[in-house]
Amino acid sequence: MIKIQSLAFAAALLPLAMTANAQLSPAEQGRKVWMANNCYGCHGVRAGGSGFNAPPFRRERPEAEDLNEVLREGGEGGMPAFPSLTSTDIANLTAYFDSLGTSSEPIFLRWWEAVPTASVRPRSFTKHGIAASLRKR
């Protein structure tokens, strides 16, 4: 009896999980695309660059047309193409870039969750980490 109730409960929650993406803003959807496609590997977890000669989008936002071209065809310096990204994915990435440095910037790391919660910032982003030492300069 308990197993049947558990299955019924799980089945009732499934539609909620499936519509979770509809609850996310375009910037949050863009953050999911960013994390899921490992963009942070070269551009940094928060799009500030990471030393791989990849542009830091926190300082300079790409134009939507340029972003679309580079994501479809690849770019200089080893930037791979991402042909599986949809036009909606690319629009959401643009919304994510536009949110950088604002109070609405998504910072979650668990992109695989249906509705990611704001992650506890890694130490490097806390007042005792790298960000603090950079502010002092």
User: Where exactly are the structural domains of the chain?
Assistant: 23-135
Instruction: Give me 16's structure tokens.
Output: 């909620």
Distances (CA, A) of 123 to 1, 13, 25, 53, 88: 46, 34, 26, 24, 33
Q: Give pLDDT tens digits for 84-99.
A: 999 999 999 999 999 9
Q: Give the model's pLDDT for residue 16.
A: 46
- Whether pLDDT at 106 is above 60: yes
Q: Give the model's pLDDT for residue 98.
A: 94
pTM: 0.69
* Contact criterion met (CB below 8 Å) for 122 and 132: no
Q: Give pLDDT tens digits for 40-91.
A: 999 999 988 887 788 889 888 888 899 999 999 999 888 999 999 999 999 9
Fold of 23-135: Cytochrome Bc1 Complex; Chain D, domain 2 (1.10.760)
Q: Give the model's pLDDT for residue 14.
A: 44
Comparing 36 with 16, the larger pLDDT belongs to 36
Comparing 105 with 11, the larger pLDDT belongs to 105
CA distance 30 to 93: 4
User: Of 28-32, 72-76, 126-130, which range is least confident?
Assistant: 126-130
